[in-house]
Structure 1
Amino acid sequence: MGSAAVIVDDVHVEYKVYASGKALDKAGRKLLTRTRGVRTVHALKGVSFTAEKGESIGIIGSNGSGKSTLMRAITGLTPPSRGAIYASARPNLLGVGAALLPDLSGERNIVLGGLALGFSKEEIAEMRDDIVAFAELEDFIELPMRTYSSGMQQRLKFAIAAAKQHEILIVDEALAVGDKKFRERSESRIREIREQAGTVFLVSHSMGSIRDTCNRVIWLEKGVLREDGDPDEVIKAYEGWKK
């Protein structure tokens, strides 16, 4: 693959979904009857691009544009219906929905998350204090995860995943959590991963985070790659299209 980290070659993703055939108003009255049965949703339509090693690529687009579907396809969680994806290393997905165990303490979840990332118990013990400090959970790390606010949980998930130097890392809205100080530290960590020859994809609705973190932006809309290039130029086109 040479200097390429990820090659996305004419990728299509189609979902089969069941249509119930009913639409109701707020009072529960049936407004119309649609055709029942299985419908095909064409989530990605011939997307192609090459991500080079060391790039930090922002993925933008309106809700339902195919951003998360593309990231799941790159990680192998959603197989393409047509086309192919090639990667120089295993892509790792860091999303705010990443599952940790709510009945276990933050401490135990650090161990489980570290093991899942391939660290030894000794390595996890060495990085434990840094993870806790990064997540700002010093006073809560012994408590069960279910007692954490959603922001605390998401900070811990980010801190665990960002402890590893990933060759290809996908961050799906993780920078949207926490206060300004935490977001700045998160963005700094993403830049560190990129500078150490890692490739980062950042899916976000925050154009500020995209501008601060990425050196390239891909704009998806309705499953089609609309633009790919300089962050300021692509974001300007996207924001103009939204008006």
Structure 2
Amino acid sequence: MDDFSVLDLFLQASLIVQAVMVLLLVVSIISWIAIFERYFNLSRIKQANQAFEKEFWSGKDLNQLYENIIETPSDELVGSLRVFKHGFEEFLRLSKGQQITIEDLESVNRAIRVSLAREEESLMLHLPFLANVGSVSPYVGLFGTVWGIINSFQGLSDATQATINAVAPGISEALVATALGLFAAIPAVVAYNRFASDSDTQLQQSSVFGEELASILYRQTVKAKL
């Protein structure tokens, strides 16, 4: 039997198997784009969290810290930076022209919770897609394989002699679909597990920071009332 390249197997495959191969290849490319985007974005959030919290706990005045970040573009407001800006912004709004009460702090807490919800939405971007690719792609590839094998055995009805050479090319092209399904699924599953864990860590870090910020603002309010 002559050697077959992957391209030869693709060109000789049935239309359905070719469609499955193209679909899996496109999905794999998109998933790799999503993987790189998530990797660089999570790295940026981690670095921003570390830098901002280091500055926050250095003892700098909160008003000065707020002035430093007030002009920060919205796409750069990530993690603890986002939580601080929105929470302290609400605190300043409530304290303008009047003495803020402890009851008013609930509004600050709501602003912090909303900021955390938006942060979670940002952290989870593309993760459902990677999860779907990881879980569905093998079955799509298996469908292409089964379809190709069925076509191969149907071709035996026209053959004068049933030999392995008659069905081997069809089975080979069918198995390429399974290989492509695994090629798309494995990186997506690994990336999803890694990014989901990193996202949970970053969100937990921002959540703890939000609690600490609320506690600081509470102490400031109580101190001002004394």
TM range (shorter): under 0.3
Higher relative contact order (CA 8 A, sep 6+): 2
The structure whose residues are more often strand, as a share, is: 1
Q: Whose helix fraction is larger, Structure 1's or Structure 2's?
A: 2
TM-score by length of 2: 0.21
